[in-house]
A = this chain, B = another copy of it.
Amino acid sequence: MKAAVIGAGGYISGELVRLLLQHPHLELAQATSTRHRGRLLSAAHPNLRDQSDLCFVSEDQLAPCDVVFLAMPHGAAAKSMDRWSALAPRVVDLSADFRLSDPSVRERYYPGAAPDPAWQSRFRPGIPELYRERLRGADHIAVPGCMANAAILALHPLAEAGLVRGPVLVDARTGSSGGGRTPDQGSHHPERSGALRIAKPHGHRHTAEIEQACGVPVRMTVTAVEAVRGVQAVLHITPAREVTERELWAVYRAAYREEPFVRLVRERSALHRIPEPRILGGSNYCDIGLSLGPEGDHLIVVAALDNLVKGGAGNAVQCVNIASGWDETAGLRFAGLHPA
């Protein structure tokens, strides 16, 4: 099956390209980049030296294919859906354009960028763990934001089980690659290095995605930490009733026992007791752990993932694997590295 990646010079799309080059059923046939047009993929992605002879093309050089991945700035995908739809029968959007189904919520977080409702209604949320059945055969898929995906996977089982009281506090820690490829004052190494920067203490856009998927109010804080890759979502939850850790683990096991890319981390060792994104670089895993305080009124649930893979490109490939009826793990079996 032939795939095209639109906006293939970025970080998430670089990972998408890497995954597609090794995918058993998908062939990367076309990759667009305005900036790198005519040059090898490795011009933008030095890790891909000698991995492919493909060169970036411009959008007007595109030929029809089987699936098109849209990795463009927010707002761009929605504007040209007729075009992408004519290009391939299956469209996967990695931007925020089709993530939020409620127009008023969308308008609040992304003012003035409403997509055509007809297109909006066709897109299905790209979260296999929540919507696997809806993804089978799906032709329009909108994959979630990286921090949203981590928080949703951490929160959803508890919310479903009615175990959450009041607003959930999502403390998301993120590496610098989440900010994309364009340099600015905030990404300048002397300023970004060693940061513990809470640039957005309230109102981050991913809040809306978490609330939509889990149905509970969320207060979200984002801290930029010293890392290139990785998201760690630390959820602070007030249990709705008295619970034990054992009971909580049972809820998560029931939800994720069969999931190929969610791992429940329940270790005694202080070193790896709670999930961290470091060992997940390049992998499609989301690791989840928890701790219930002795007073019983404070539960921590932690999810870690690679923002560019399970938080973006890998998750998109997983969705297409499901949509196409392939082995869900095809092309996604890299285990991550330790130490890293």
Contact = CB atoms under 8 A, between A and B. Distances in A.
A94 B337 CA distance: 19
Interface stretch (A24-32, A79-87, A122-130, A185-193): A185-193
Interface stretch (A98-106, A132-140, A200-208): A200-208
Interface residues of A, number: 92
A251 interface: no
B291 A202 contact: yes
Given A177-B190, A197-B271, A282-B337, A236 B169 contact: yes
Interface string A46-86: 11111100000000000000000000000000000000000
Among A47, A186, A269, A281, find the residue whose CB has the most chain B CB atoms closer than 10 A.
A47
A156 interface: no
B300 A189 contact: no
B184 A340 contact: no
Given A190-B11, A302-B198, A47 B228 contact: no
Interface of A: 11, 14-15, 18, 21-22, 43, 45-51, 167, 169, 171, 173, 175-177, 181-203, 217, 219, 221, 223, 225-230, 232, 234, 236, 263, 265, 269-274, 276-283, 287, 291-295, 297-298, 300, 302, 304, 333-340
